[in-house]
Structure 1
């Protein structure tokens, strides 16, 4: 996957929301971890009726992350985006995608890389 300069890579799992930015170019990408935004997960039901409180909290986290990303895209602070999440989480994330976010989306990777370092994330993206 080609990552233009400035592409934001969002790595989302049940507990984490990490952001990386390509500070290199398409030919030689280099990921730099950015500050993690604080998410408001209090007003989100997760979009579905799961029996588990833990599952609903994970879904609310995913929804809050997508809403934050969508605001950044709408505010022109994110031009190109890649989303990485575990398969189940990615399904929840997709439910909350906006048209604007979809237009910025270069790709997705259904893999749990919530604890991965930048070199491992880059290797996984190159392996696609």
Structure 2
């Protein structure tokens, strides 16, 4: 995947968000860590569901809430004009929850998604995954 300069890359799972920016160019990808405000679990994405064998337990509901909160943050950044291009790399379950909350403005800025958990991986591993898509 060729990413224009300044494209943001959000790497997430149900517990953590790492945000990067391509400080290289389309040919020479170079991810730089971006400091962002803390994302909480204040989005109640799945709290209305009751716990049962077919519904998530409290832990899973918390992860779903965090995933939704990540998207709330990214939606705001896109709407404020701070993100012009975005790639989301997320654990499959988290990505599924995140998709439910995309604003149409975020969808318009979305350059790609990778359904893979890379939150505990090095920047080199993330860059490799981005190049391989």
Map of 2:109 onto structure 1: 104
Larger Rg: 2
SS of aligned partner of 1:96: coil
1:120 aligns with 2:111: no
What is the rounded CA distance, in whole Å, between the counterparts of 1:80 and 1:14 in structure 2? 22
Give 4+ residue runs of structure 1 displaced > 4 Å after superposition.
Answer: none
Instruction: Please name the residue that 1:3 is paired with.
Output: 3
Q: Is the 8 A contact 2:68 2:101 kept in 1?
A: yes
CA separation of 1:15 and 1:40: change in aligned 2, threshold 3 A: closer
Q: Given the superposition, is the C-alpha separation of residues 116 and 91 from structure 1 closer, same or farther in structure 2, using an over 3 Å criterion?
A: same
Extract unaligned runs of 5+ from structure 1.
none
Question: Which piece of structure 1 moves more, 36-45 or 58-67?
Answer: 36-45
Which runs of 5 or more residues in structure 2 are unaligned? 50-54
* Conservation of the 8 A alpha-carbon contact between 2:43 and 2:66: no
Match of 1:82 in 2: 87
Q: Secondary structure at the match of 2:100?
A: helix
TM-score relative to the length of structure 2: 0.91
Query: For residues 9-35 of structure 1, what are the alpha-carbon distances to aligned partners after superposition, in whole Å with 9 as ceiling and x for unaligned?
Result: 001112111100000000111000111
Q: 1:47 to 1:69 in 2, by over 3 A?
A: farther
Q: Are residue 70 (structure 1) and residue 75 (structure 2) matched?
A: yes
